[in-house]
Amino acid sequence: MQYFENEHIKYKNNQLYVDDININELAKEFGTPLYIYSKNHFINQYQEFENAFKSINHKIFYAMKANFNLSVVNTFVKLGSGVDANSEGELYRALKTGVDPSKVILTSVGKTKNEIKLGLEKNVLMIKAESEEEIELINKIACEMNKVARVAVRVNPDVDAKTHPYISTGLSSNKFGVDSKTALSIYKRRKDFSNIEFTGIDMHIGSQITLIEPFVEAVQKLSDLYFEIEKDGLKLAHFDVGGGIGVSYNSEQSFSINEFAEKTIPLFKKLDCEIIFEPGRFLTANGGILVTEVLYNKKNGDKNFVIVDSAMNDMLRPSIYQAYHHIQPTTKFGNRNDIVADVVGPICESGDYFARDREITQSNSGDLLALTSAGAYGMVMSFNYNGRRRPPEILVDGNKYDEVRSRETFDHLIYDEKIV
Ligand code: LLP
């Protein structure tokens, strides 16, 4: 049985803590399933990133899709971060935190008219465009609104990020961005777009990237393009390399942020513009846990099942990416054996599982388990299937904590419906 621990999530006297807060106590107060985050982990990750790039002109735009709880976004905004918003809903959430719209980037492979309009109305720093048709539309809408849209073209550099196929985005077979040739021709045609000012160039080659080489290769390709555009007489203000930096869920080794800086800073220094980063997972993943209670143990033939009160609707990653998350008791009992079991939720789908054939400590009904590395792409991907209410979220700050989102009520489940 392997245990996950870091500076902010660790055992003290065999009880799991997030900073100074005992998880068993929190679960008693708020029930399970329950998301718990360490604010100090988020802050440390942000500062580590900032420090690594302090020698260059850069800015972090937190990719809020990783964890868009208002208090989490606000944590980064208060540190000076910008925000990368992927829809009008995320833009709405971001602005609720009071972030200055000039620190917001609007992303998405398919923005609607309303999203483009909202971005222009709010005056976001820039809109990232992902097709020629979209650029035509942005120009038309900006013209109607009598505004000038600041736009960056998202380039698909055709580099294999060597990550899970569902979260690889930088290959020409992926739906994202436009190829370098198309991008160059768009920038060259800039006079055709009366109400667009091209202020940046952008890429994002995938997520949970653990190898540094694809990143460096993509930055190199994008900077070649940057110089061709410069040669054509256009000086871009922003060079956006997206997010994607991997974290350790299990034993995988990802490159460190300092290594990333060391390999890319020499390339960035050649560019005379601001470098933009959009990290999501790096900032939040390992600062969160999902706590669940063991309901039952059973055996079907030789196979052990641990049935818990949380399910794929609360945390989807294992079901759709076969993602690994440690699952560990919130109390370490010295006298328990390890067993090999599937840890499954109550939903009527065989894909509703957190682990398969996993060696875990034998647990009894009523015991609590923590699923670790749940701070990114956890709660944001939750849903109400099987009529399940979504869990609360607790933000721990040292020896204090706040319920930053409460458990959904039954009324939440039906508030927008009517019976006819
Ligand atoms: N920028 C853009 C344009 C993105 O599409 C993403 C993530 C990011 C930044 C942040 O990437 P990060 O630093 O978090 O890797 N649900 C999947 C991950 C999907 C990522 C989508 N885009 C998962 O649970 O692994």
Q: Mind listing the pLDDT tens digit for each residue in 347-365?
A: 999 999 999 999 999 999 9
Write the class of the CATH domain 9-38+285-414.
Answer: mainly beta
Q: Taking CA 86 as the corner, what is the angle to CA 129 and CA 96, rounded to the nearest 5 degrees? A: 125
User: Could you tell me which of 309, 353, 314, 275 has the C-alpha nearest to residue 59?
Assistant: 275
In degrees rounded to 5, what are phi and psi of residue 363?
-130, 155
pLDDT mean values, one per 10 residues, the chain (420 residues): 93 98 98 98 98 98 98 98 98 97 96 97 97 97 98 94 79 88 97 98 95 94 97 98 96 91 97 97 98 98 97 98 97 93 97 97 97 98 98 98 98 97
> What is the per-residue pLDDT for 334?
85
Catalytic residues: 348
Residue nearest to atom 16 of ligand 1 (CA): 377
Which residue, among 199, 244, 366, 386, has the nearest Cα to 297 in the 3D structure? 366
Centroid of ligand 1 to alpha carbon of 244 (angstroms) = 6
42 Cα–ligand 1 center, Å: 17
* Nearest CA residue ID for atom 22, ligand 1: 207
Tokens of 157: 């550099």
CA distances from 315 to 84, 164, 249, 266, 287 (A): 22, 17, 15, 39, 15
Which tokens hold the place of 365? Answer: 């009904």
pTM: 0.97
Residue whose CA is at the smallest distance from ligand 1 atom 9: 243
Distance of CA 371 to the CA centre of its chain: 17
| Ligand 1 pocket at CB < 6 A | 63, 65-66, 84, 107, 167, 204, 207-208, 242-245, 278-282, 317, 321, 377
Length of the chain: 420
The tokens describing 159, both together, are 């580099």
CATH topology match: 9-38+285-414 vs 107-279: no
Pairing verdict, β 126-129 and 149-154: parallel
Write down the H helix ranges in 123-211: 132-145, 180-188
What's the pLDDT score for residue 170?
A: 80
Q: Hey, which of 281, 317, 320 would you mutate to test ligand 1's pocket, going by the most ligand atoms within 8 Å of its Cβ?
A: 281
Query: Per-domain residue ranges for the chain?
Result: 9-38+285-414, 107-279
CATH code given to domain 107-279 = 3.20.20.10
Q: Whose CA is nearest to atom 5 of ligand 1?
A: 204
